[in-house]
Amino acid sequence: MSGWETVIGLEVHTELRTETKLFCSCANRFGDEPNTNVCPVCLGLPGSLPVLNARAVDYAVRIGVALHCQVQPSIFHRKNYFYPDMPKDYQISQYDLPIDTDGWLELPGGKRVGIERAHLEEDTGKTTHVGGGGRIHDADHSLVDYNRAGVPLVEIVSRPDLRSADEARAYVDELRAILVATGASDGKMEEGSLRVDANVSVRPVGSTAFGTRCEVKNMNSLRSLGRAIDYEVARQVRLVEGGGEVVQETRHWNEAEGHTSSMRSKEEAFDYRYFPEPDLVPVVPDPAWVDGIRAALPAMPAELRRGVAHAAGMAPESDAVVTVVRLGLEPFVTATVAAGADAGLAVRRLANEVASEIGSLANLGPEQFVTLLRMESAGDLTTAQARTVLKDMLTGGGDPAGIAAAHGFEALGGDALEAALDEVVADNADAWARYVAGEDKLQGLFIGRLRGATAGKADLAAAAAILRARRAAGC
Ligand code: ADP
Ligand code: MG
Ligand code: ZN
């Protein structure tokens, strides 16, 4: 794609974790028996009236504050269109006066992505097409579940600031972490709690004007978002390089076949005939209430990364730091710092051994974790032994000293270590002479042989120090 720049803006719909729906008291719950959480309001029966859910507004404000938006007075509109999963034949949404405007989100690498707006709206029901390929055209029949109709959503619209599929994925990943941190969303993409539409265009490198965009729908994982964008960019570049033109349209991502296809063009776009919802009053958040919500928000992921990175002496965007915060493991780092143990070692162990057994995290207490780090730092356990003990702590629980004793682990140090080194040196006399003469890289050979000779029990850090000392002494 050389010579072309990708431009992406994302629209993310997040379901809010309220007990009830946006305008009625039906339960907001995923996975219930279809059409059991319904009432005259969310079924759109004549004469029923919506009543706004205060908790949903609270969550929308939390999202706005976390994304550095202005929280402003807003009103609801009716967005009119016909589809079987929308019983009222209109969706109550916000249009020209959304509750949150003009914010930003910071990616782990430091780039700021603009947030144009975030607004409240209700979800539609869910249609399942049975038979054929699961699409409406070739289905035998369709089933509709109205349990989701009226579930509160916040739609978050980014500015066209993203420049690659990787950046788009990083944005959604960060946004999801922020939404979960605010308590507004459970972030479960696999349950449809987070749904992403991608607006994609290309332009010649150096151009400041935007190209014509296509909006791609139906990606249900970060992986398919990345694939869909890569496909769409390649398609548009091929089209333009072949003398054609991108037409503005909505396209559908086909996960199984790995391509996008046209759903509807600009000409076929719905005319939604927006007008103000007459059954609801404007929402005017009291600034003092908004300030209270701001003050009560917990630390967001970017701030947590900075804290962990600082403690560990690492960069905030490093994979280990990002992983520790994504998995909510920063309390272990805090405990390590409080105990005066090695926070860098803590982050490495958390991002590797603990992250790979994250399902067993409940077995690991911060105090035991810190004790293990101490044993390793003091040379009572080798790195290999510490890893084994930590795996056992995660899978079965228990204290590190007990587990180490049960394994017969004891780092080989002191005289025993010196003796083991004597043997390794004697067995590799040639290499030793070259090492003493200045071939630094041979140190790895001695360490490797030592590890083998002691079945992994040698304290390798201590051994390396002894090797250097002996070489400096010229023997
Ligand atoms: P619509 O109401 O049709 O969805 P918006 O102007 O609200 O249109 O834009 C929707 C999304 O499209 C936003 O996320 C925005 O950043 C993005 N966008 C706008 N223009 C472009 C473009 N040329 N290329 C890529 N994304 C774009
Ligand atoms: Mg759109
Ligand atoms: Zn209802």
207 shares its domain with 84: yes
| Last-in-domain residue among 275, 294, 313 | 294
For atom 11 of ligand 1, which residue has the closest CA? Answer: 9
- Pick from 94-98, 217-221, 381-385, 453-457 the range whose average pLDDT is largest: 94-98
In Å, how far are 441, 447, 460 from 444, measured between CA atoms? 6, 5, 10
Q: Which domain holds residue 118?
A: 4-294
CB 26 within 8 Å of CB 150: yes
Residues with CB under 5 A from ligand 3 (ion): 24, 26, 39, 41-42
Q: What are phi and psi of 183, to 5 degrees?
A: 90, 0
Do β-strands 249-254 and 214-219 pair in parallel, antiparallel, or remain unpaired? parallel
Q: For the chain, first and last CA: distance in Å? A: 59
Nearest CA among 48, 28, 43 for reference residue 89: 43
271 shares its domain with 359: no
Q: Does the CB atom of residue 199 touch ligand 1 within 6 A?
A: yes
What is the rounded distance in angstroms from the CA atom of residue 83 to the CA atom of residue 173? 31
CA atoms within 13 A on the CB side of 44: 18
CB 164 within 8 Å of CB 7: no
Q: Does the CB atom of residue 236 touch ligand 1 within 6 A?
A: no
Q: Please spell the DSSP secondary structure of 199-233, one letter per residue.
A: EEEEEETT--SPPPPEEEEEE-SHHHHHHHHHHHH
130 shares its domain with 50: yes
E strands, 205-324, are 214-219, 249-254, 259-265, 275-276
| Last-in-domain residue among 244, 272, 294 | 294
What is the rounded distance in angstroms from the CA atom of residue 221 to the CA atom of residue 408? 45
Q: What is the pLDDT of residue 312?
A: 97
51 shares its domain with 197: yes
238 shares its domain with 90: yes
Q: Residue 355: enclosing H or E segment and its boundaries?
A: helix 355-356
Mean pLDDT over residues 230-258, rounded?
Answer: 96
Q: Does the CB atom of residue 289 touch ligand 1 within 6 A?
A: no
| Last-in-domain residue among 241, 266, 294 | 294
What is the rounded distance in angstroms from the CA atom of residue 312 to the CA atom of residue 306? 10
Nearest CA among 61, 56, 118 for reference residue 296: 61
141 shares its domain with 87: yes
33 shares its domain with 131: yes
CB 216 within 8 Å of CB 251: yes
Mean pLDDT over residues 124-133, rounded?
Answer: 88
pLDDT at 21 exceeding the cut of 80: yes
pLDDT at 219 exceeding the cut of 80: yes
> 351-355: long-range contacts (C-beta < 8 A, 24 or more apart)?
351/319, 351/320, 351/321, 351/323, 351/324, 352/320, 353/387, 353/390, 353/391, 353/394, 354/327, 354/329, 354/390, 354/394, 355/323, 355/324, 355/327, 355/329
Tally of structural domains, the chain? 3
44 shares its domain with 62: yes
131 shares its domain with 151: yes
What is the rounded distance in angstroms from the CA atom of residue 230 to the CA atom of residue 220? 15
In Å, how far are 201, 413, 471 from 372, measured between CA atoms? 52, 18, 32
pLDDT at 102 exceeding the cut of 80: yes
What is the rounded distance in angstroms from the CA atom of residue 299 to the CA atom of residue 262? 42
Residue scoring higher pLDDT (21 or 420): 21
How many angstroms is it from 9 CA to the middle of ligand 1? 6
Helix (H, G, I), strand (E, B) or coil at 336: helix
Q: Does the CB atom of residue 14 touch ligand 1 within 6 A?
A: no
Question: Position 288: which residue type?
Answer: A
Nearest CA among 59, 45, 176 for reference residue 121: 59
Q: Could you read off the pLDDT of 29-67 as tens digits, one per residue?
A: 999 999 999 999 999 999 999 999 999 999 999 999 999
Q: Which atom of ligand 1 is nearest to the CA of 215?
A: 12
450 shares its domain with 391: no
Q: What is the pLDDT of residue 475?
A: 63
How many angstroms is it from 245 CA to the middle of ligand 1? 18
Question: Position 34: which residue type?
Answer: P
14 shares its domain with 135: yes
Helix 165-182 with 301-312: angle, nearest 10 deg: 100
What is the rounded distance in angstroms from the CA atom of residue 436 to the CA atom of residue 418? 17
Mean pLDDT over residues 231-252, rounded?
Answer: 96
Q: What is the pLDDT of residue 317?
A: 93
pLDDT at 77 exceeding the cut of 90: yes
Whose atoms come closest to the Cα of 9: which ligand?
1
Q: What are phi and psi of 230, to 5 degrees?
A: -60, -40
> 317-326: long-range contacts (C-beta < 8 A, 24 or more apart)?
317/108, 317/109, 317/110, 319/351, 320/347, 320/348, 320/350, 320/351, 320/352, 321/347, 321/351, 322/108, 323/350, 323/351, 323/355, 324/350, 324/351, 324/355, 325/177, 325/301, 326/173, 326/177, 326/301
Q: Does the CB atom of residue 7 touch ligand 1 within 6 A?
A: yes
Q: Does the CB atom of residue 213 touch ligand 1 within 6 A?
A: yes
Helix then strand then coil, % of the chain, to nearest 5: 40, 20, 35
How many angstroms is it from 23 CA to the middle of ligand 3? 7
Of 104, 155, 156, 199, the residue with max ligand 1 atoms within 8 A of its CB, to mutate for a pocket test, comes to: 199
435 shares its domain with 349: no
Residue scoring higher pLDDT (405 or 7): 7
Q: Does the CB atom of residue 159 touch ligand 1 within 6 A?
A: yes
Q: Could you read off the pLDDT of 283-297 as tens digits, one per residue?
A: 999 999 999 999 999
**Which tokens is 96 given?**
């020209």
pLDDT at 12 exceeding the cut of 70: yes
Q: Could you read off the pLDDT of 298-337 as tens digits, one per residue?
A: 999 999 999 999 999 999 999 999 999 999 999 999 999 9
Q: Does the CB atom of residue 210 touch ligand 1 within 6 A?
A: yes
How many angstroms is it from 61 CA to the middle of ligand 3? 23
Q: Does the CB atom of residue 98 touch ligand 1 within 6 A?
A: no
Average pLDDT, the chain: 94
Other Cβ atoms within 10 Å of 203 Cβ, number: 17
